[in-house]
Structure formats: structure tokens, C-alpha cells
Structure 1
């Protein structure tokens, strides 16, 4: 009987904790910081449909462009390593990464 009560209490506590956690997540779902964190997690775990442009750092000339499922590889300390469609690209060039479908705004000099 005592074991049944212990199991029942632990189930109730687990449910209460889950409801409390869900409430916190729902209350924070509109925050920009939470949205950014979710995007970072999606990028790290799944990858995002992105366009990567590699430029010469000296001349600014476009050297190569990649499109596909792109993830940054945080393990590299020298240069930058990207995983593009599962293939590793290591570079020390200047680069621009843009999510495909993201709004782009023109910058005007005044």
C-alpha cells in the first residue's frame, strides 16, 4: 500500500512539474530572446536552408557560393568550418550566411 502511494505521489509531482514547465514556456514564447534561442537550436541540430557566400577578404570579390542545409561547426578554433548538406567546408575567407526566405532590407547611405 505504501509503495502505491509513493508511486501515485511521484506521478502527481511529475505532472505538476510538467504543467508548470509548459506554463513557463507558453508565457515566454513571445519573447524575442526565446525565439532566437529556438532558431539557434534548430540551426545547430537540424540545419537551416541557407546561402553561404565566400569572399576574398582583400578584394571583396565573390569566390564561391553554396546553397543548402547549412550548420556552423563550433568545434574549430582556426578559421571557420561549415557543414553544407553533410559535407564539411573549412575556410579562413570572409563569408556571409543568409537564411533562404528571410527578408532582406537595402541599406541606404544618407
Structure 2
């Protein structure tokens, strides 16, 4: 009985360690973090007509794309409803150059 429990625990730990390296698990964890607490992001709002930069927000930002009209963003706990064009960049993410 004791050996069976040890083998079961070892198997569960090995499974968790094995799946923690998968991209899908890492993406799911990042999505959960984004939905729960937000991510450190920078949002730039642009006019869809002129392409002119209107305002820049930076901080813990969560997206809510399910809204029927435009998109709502939670920026440091405050809701911003927009139907403008926006660009979102995650801060601290190293961007790599893609060679053609």
C-alpha cells in the first residue's frame, strides 16, 4: 500500500514536470495570469481615421474582447471602453528580429 502511494505521487510529480515544459501549458498559465491580475503592458490608442496617436496607457492591463461594441481594457483597475484602433505591447518581453 505504501509503495503504491509513493509510485502514484512520483508519477504525478513526473507528469507535472513533463507538462510544465509544454508551450500549451505555459500559454495557459500566461492567459490565466492575464485574466486574473493583468500583465504589465503598454497600450497606444490611435485614431482609426487619421492614424494619429491619441493617448498612451501603461500598467497592469487586462483585455475584455467579448464586449459587443469595441473592446474594453482594465487599466490599473479602471475600465476603458474603446472602439478606436490600439496597439498593445507587453513590457519586458524581448523581441527577436526575424530574418527574411
Q: TM-score, normalised by structure 2?
A: 0.79
Q: Determine helix, strand or coil for the equivalent of 2:92.
A: coil
Change (3 A) 1:107 1:47: same
Greater radius of gyration (CA): 1
Deviation at 1:22, TM superposition (A): 3.9
Residues in 1 aligned to 2:15 and 2:41: alpha-carbon distance in whole angstroms: 31
Residue aligning to 1:8: none
Greater helix share, 1 or 2?
A: 1
Could you say what the CA RMSD is over the residues aligned between the two structures, in angstroms?
2.7
In the alignment, structure 2 segments of 5+ residues that lack a partner are: none
Residue aligning to 2:27: 36
Deviation at 1:15, TM superposition (A): 8.7
Q: Determine helix, strand or coil for the equivalent of 2:25.
A: helix
Residue aligning to 2:56: 65
In the alignment, structure 1 segments of 5+ residues that lack a partner are: 1-13
Question: Within 5 A, what are the aligned runs for 1:1-110?
Answer: 20-105=11-96
Q: TM-score, normalised by structure 1?
A: 0.72
Q: Determine helix, strand or coil for the equivalent of 2:67.
A: coil
User: For this pair of structures, how many residues does the alignment match?
Assistant: 97
For residues 73-110 of structure 1, what are the alpha-carbon distances to aligned partners after superposition, in whole Å with 9 as ceiling and x for unaligned?
245221100000000000001111111111234678x7
